[in-house]
Structure 1
Amino acid sequence: MGGLRIVAIVLIVAGALGLAYGSFSYTKETHTAKLGPLSVSVKEKETINIPQWAGLAAIAIGVVLLVTGKK
């Protein structure tokens, strides 16, 4: 399998996942304070929305790369 073909398949899979889920979230630690034996930390949950056009564009580019890569 060539490198271009692998990139095309990854784009297609990523685009399909983006369309299926629509968003993903992660937790990041923003503040930490340590006062003697006491430790306090603040964690924020961030959500990233994936636009439908981005998923469709990734799938389309992946398909184009697969088709043109065979020549």
Structure 2
Amino acid sequence: MKAFGIILIVVGILMLIFTNINFTTEEKVVDAGPIEINKKENKSIGWPTWAGGVAVVAGVALAVAGRKR
């Protein structure tokens, strides 16, 4: 339980630092013999800042509860 708490603390801190992740996907639109047309699309995954704070608080609570046992 203590290890899971530490993991939650680290993930929560990373969520507070990086509020979203951007990445690019490539999709084949047309593939007709020698002709190939690809489409690149930028996507992002975002989360609220408070979610990182909740993860840190939950991780601290789990780490403290794991130490008392």
Equivalenced residues, count:
68
Equivalent in the alignment of 1:64: 61
Using the size of structure 1 for normalisation, the TM-score is: 0.81
User: Any residues of structure 2 matched to 1:8-27 within 5 Å, and which?
Assistant: 8-27=5-24
Q: Choose 61-70 or 42-51, whichever is displaced more.
A: 42-51
Cα shift at 1:40: 1.2
Using the size of structure 2 for normalisation, the TM-score is: 0.83
Cα shift at 1:59: 0.3
Structure 2 residue aligned with 1:42, among 16, 35, 39?
A: 39
Measured in 2, the distance between the counterparts of 1:66 and 1:31 equals 47
Equivalent in the alignment of 2:48: 51
Measured in 1, the distance between the counterparts of 2:35 and 2:44 equals 30
Measured in 2, the distance between the counterparts of 1:30 and 1:36 equals 17
Measured in 2, the distance between the counterparts of 1:32 and 1:5 equals 49
**Runs of 5+ consecutive residues of structure 2 not aligned to the other structure:** none
- Cα 1:37–1:17 change in 2 (3 A) is same
Q: Choose 55-64 or 31-40, whichever is displaced more.
A: 31-40
